[in-house]
Amino acid sequence: MRQRYARQLQNIHDDLLRIGSRVELGLSDALQALANADANLATQVVAADREIDRTHQAIDEHVFELIATQQPVASDLRTLLATSAIASELERAGDYAKGIAKRVSRLLAQAPIVPVPATIIRMGELSHSMLHQCLDAYVKRDISIARGLAENDVLVDNLEDDANEQIRTMIKNNVATLESGLILIEITYMLERLADRTTNIGERVIFMINSSNEELNN
């Protein structure tokens, strides 16, 4: 029974890392599609999101089943609850990656085609780094890695402000870029929200380790 229980815990852990890997890849591809004006890659990101949704649903089902049938001890219960919450955050992060990819397709349909501000590219790189960082904190059970997300979240917020100011200036100088500018603003919003999801995951990791609640997103 203990061996079966341990295998079930490990399977849930592996499924979560599978979601994390797919979300990382989806975000990376969405950002590459944005930077390289690649409509085909953007379409692939949208299609791949369905597998993330299916794996998230499977994790929740397995977590609830394990809690109901095995009555896990307190530490395992915290891990299961945190894992379920982290899977939800990753699923939402995947939705943002999909949303960015959809907006890349819309952006490429506009005329004139506008250059993507370097600040948005930097936002994407930092958000992707934070996604990897929060998963690293989960795997290593490392509170210090989780807490490091807060500093990077401030950087993302500042970059969003800078990017949106640049976009507003672009629209002001050329009203024909209005629609493209609005799409770019939506992308900056999604990147900022995705970064917030990683801090939420960091908070869950901290709770999982020492059962304390900390705010990483001020």
Q: What is the mean pLDDT of residues 53-66?
A: 91
pLDDT band at residue 71, thresholds of 50, 70 and 90? confident
Q: How far, in Å, CA of 182 to CA of 132, rounded?
A: 28
Note the pLDDT of residue 218. Answer: 64
- 19: closest CA among 50, 64, 62? 50
Q: What is the mean pLDDT of residues 137-145?
A: 95
Note the pLDDT of residue 36. Answer: 95
DSSP class of 109 = T
Helix (H, G, I), strand (E, B) or coil at 145: helix
5-8, long-range: CB within 8 Å, 24+ apart, which pairs? Answer: 5/66, 5/70, 8/62, 8/66, 8/70
Q: What is the pLDDT of residues 168-193, one digit of tens each?
A: 999 999 999 999 999 999 999 999 99
210 vs 3 pLDDT, higher one = 210
pLDDT band at residue 200, thresholds of 50, 70 and 90? very high
Residue 101 has pLDDT above 90, yes or no: yes
- The CB density around residue 69, as the number of other CB atoms within 10 Å, is 10
Domains of the chain, first to last: 2-210 (1.20.58.220)
Residue 217 has pLDDT above 80, yes or no: no
